[in-house]
Structure 1
Amino acid sequence: MKVDSVAQRVKFVQDALQRYGKNLFLGVGREVNHPENMLYNLFGTSVVGSTAVLIPRSGQPAIIGASYDEGNLPAQVYEVIGYKTSFLDALSPVLRRMEPASREIVMNFSQDEAGIDTLGHGLWVNLGELLSRYKILPGDDVISSAFGRRTEQDLQYMRRAIKEGQEILQMALSNIIREGVTETQIAEYMRGEARARGLGFAWAEDMDPIVSVGKNSLYSHHRPDDTKIKSGEVLFIDFGVSYGPPGEAQCSDIQNMSYVRKPGESHAPAEIQRLFQVALEAKNTGIVMIAPGVRGTDVDAAAREIVHASGYSAPDVEGYDHGFGHSLGRTSHEIGPGAFPPWSRYGRMAEAVFEQGNVVTAEPSVAHPEIGKVALEDDVLVTEDGHEVLNRQQTEIWYV
């Protein structure tokens, strides 16, 4: 990773410590080899041995790494401290030197946010005695704030990913999507175009894009199979690509809906048109609320009320069993504020408040048991005084 990118993320951690009144973040990991790991973005490189970053609210941060990793650690950002035989012996004096008066330390674990929960139980056990004098706090608030913000460079990469992804979808609609073609054939075509452009995938390649016909679309994360496109059915595509160098690439994540007309049809049946309009209204209702200081759960509630009032979904979760949207960045489900209902499965993520620089998806859905699901998804940037939709929005049914 570029040193400037590491320095910017460290600065975001310090900003978040200031915002939440905390004084020290301690991030610990080992065998950190993938850019999607949040620690990779703080270490600035892959590491093999146990490694720790100590980032105070202000002042010089430190990084402790094994001797065979030490030469790759960003000395322009951190005080670099190497060790040969004992990670704990190297960490202990640095931790004592930097410990806050409160003895509160924020660490890289979370009960609710998988992207933050990178510590690992084994390392936690190893650290037990050393950390026994401290009050250890989960990283939900601080790390969500620090990693949910996109830099100007991030946004350049993301805008490019969105542009490329939407071009590939339009190519698929023009060149391959027609009656008789299978979900798998459509997915393979789109993956091939992404590879030809040198793009990465926003989630597991074998599931990106999600292509589902008719009732298959009732399962949001349906794996494309040999189901053929048939006239009179809806076609749902959820596609995301990534663009940028390793460790810095940013993702797109966009859903669109089409209808395969029967011979002689000029428009979709009234029921499908109504499903589309409800999904569109719910999405737009949520988007107009997005701004700094707004709670994600309030955005979710406003959009969810539109769906419930339509009669397509019961007041609990039937037919709309997910949140309004999630954070987007290095991964399709980036660490950061989203818009979720106050269900136990979302935990503290449902308490998120938007900040300038967040990017959140907008993707409420409407389902009909005999037709399938209609969902439209946009990628929305939280700006200084509101929001900006980064992609071209679908405002009417597309016809095949």
Structure 2
Amino acid sequence: MAALHLRRVEALRRRMVEANLDALFITALPNVRYLSGFTGSAAVLCLTRQGAWILTDFRYWEQAARQAPDFTLYRLQNRRFSQILPEFWKEIGSPRRVGFESAHVTVDQWLTWKEAVPEVEWVPVKDWVEALRAVKDAEELARIREAARVADATMAYLRRRLRPGMTEREAAWLAEQYLRTHGGEDVAFDIIVASGPNGAMAHHRPGDRRLRAGEPIVVDLGARVDGYHSDLTRTFVLGRMPRRFREVYAVVLRAQEAALRGMRAGMTGKEIDALARSVIEAAGYGEAFGHGLGHGIGLEIHEKPAAGPIAEDPVPAGAVLTVEPGIYLSGWGGVRIEDMVVVGEEGVREILTQASRDPLIPARSA
């Protein structure tokens, strides 16, 4: 098994021993990819104390053999997973205590598994692989840096292209075209362009509203590169910067800077969130910051760890976290500034996104 995947699998096996599990099924596709390298859309991994299998259907037999050569390929052919369970269970030594990812398996699936092999004690496990994924290794960081670079370049390109009269939808399409032709294998999520009052909706979907001078324009975009994601938000204003915009933007920027200065590994996500939230609350906008400060990012756009008012878990060193305070005012719009950082023992180890935070775009003709 490749050294990288072997280290990850062995870490899981140690947890299996601690929990007295004979086998473990991995069904969440990001976790399948993390442990095996397989990138297809249908597969289950099975780990025992000594063996490792990948179960998939005809569409992916060759791909699985190439991408996960150290896993034994078990071919599913025109049968559901539950239908092959009895024979597969015997092939792997008839384990008695078998773990499954309870956050990713439906009640119906679990019931069919119990019916298929009633001899098994099915043991729910949660976040075992996600906890490993929270700390990024050098190879993962290299991919995330490249995804961040593509996002930075895309934001800089869009900044040059924004004009009064352009629709939100046109702006989002310009960004997506550039991202896909300048190093991104895909967008990390549907690009957000929210102008004027639409910016009060944190996850507004771009529409036909036209950009206007003097209004806030929230742009949230990210790239996916070799499976890994980036996430970047900037807020712009075209032509002129009204006093209200200047005030709200300054508060959000101070809040982000406070978090970047004060956060470090070992703090809970709630404590990190409070660094920024206290600044916004002190300025009188506490009720207008309704989401958490940030989230982990990697093989998924939102993954562990989290930074928010209810995030009680400590953030580990080596985690990649977004830092994205915002203020959202109904009828006016919003301001959000978001960057990705690597968390270190002594503070922020690296700011991965480097797009300009200058919000003013000089007046241009439509």
Per the TM alignment, residue 87 of structure 1 is displaced from its structure 2 partner at its CA by 2.4
Q: Give the direction of change, closer, same or farther, for the CA distance of 1:274–1:92 in structure 2 (3 Å limit).
A: farther
Tell me the CA shift for residue 375 of structure 1: 0.7
Checking the alignment, whether the CA contact within 8 Å between 2:235 and 2:337 is kept in structure 1 is: yes
Residue 236 of structure 2 is aligned with which of 236, 258, 261?
A: 258
Where in structure 2 are the equivalents of 1:164-313 lying within 5 Å? Answer: 164-174=150-160, 176-204=161-189, 207-208=190-191, 210-244=192-226, 249-262=227-240, 268-313=241-286
Superposition deviation, residue 133 in structure 1: 5.4
Aligned to 1:329: 298
Secondary structure, in 3 states, of the residue corresponding to 1:351? Answer: coil
CA contact (8 A) 2:31 2:129 kept: no
Letter in 2 for 1:397: P
- Alpha-carbon deviations, 1:43-73, whole Å to 9, x = none? 53367887441255xxx34225368567735
TM-score by length of 1: 0.76
1:57-96 residue CA offsets vs partner (Å, 9 max, x unmatched): xxx3422536856773577544666688832332256365
The corresponding residue for 1:373 is 334
Cα separation, 1, equivalents of 2:162 and 2:5: 42
| 1:22/1:274 CA distance change after superposition, 3 Å | farther
Q: Which residue of 1 aligns with 2:31?
A: 38
Contact 2:30 2:300 in 1 (8 A): no
Deviation string 1:231-253 (CA, Å, 9 cap, x unpaired) is 12111100101122xxxx21110
Partner of residue 143 from structure 1, selected from 125, 129, 137: 129
Contact 1:312-1:368 within 8 A present in 2 as well: no
Secondary structure of the 2:280 match is helix
Provide, for residues 337-365 of structure 1, a one-character-per-residue CA deviation record: whole Å limited to 9, x for no partner: 111222xxxxxxx2332122211101111
Output aligned runs, 1:378-397, within 5 Å.
378-387=339-348, 388-392=350-354, 394-397=356-359
Between 1:2-11 and 1:215-224, the stretch displaced more is: 2-11
Quote the Cα distance in structure 1 between the aligned partners of 2:270 and 2:165.
Answer: 41
Is 1:353 matched up with 2:322? Answer: no
Q: State the match for 2:306 in structure 1.
A: 338
SS at match of 1:185: helix
Secondary structure in 2 matching 1:223: coil
Segments of 5+ residues of structure 2 without an aligned counterpart are: 78-82
Q: Aligned partner of 1:326: which letter?
A: H
What is residue 6 of structure 2 aligned with on the other side? 7
- Determine whether 1:109 maps to 2:97: no
Partner of 2:145: 159
TM-score normalized with structure 2 length: 0.83
Once residues 55 and 389 of structure 1 are traced to their aligned partners in structure 2, the CA distance between those partners, rounded to angstroms, is: 39
Superposition RMSD in Å:
3.2
The correspondence for 2:88, drawn from 87, 90, 93, is: 90
Name the CA distance, whole Å, in 2 between partners of 1:274 and 1:326: 26
> What is the CA distance between 1:202 and its match in structure 2?
4.0
Instruction: Report what 2:110 is aligned to.
Output: 124
Deviates more, 1:380-389 or 1:2-11: 2-11
Matched residues in 1 for 2:328 and 2:204: separation?
A: 14
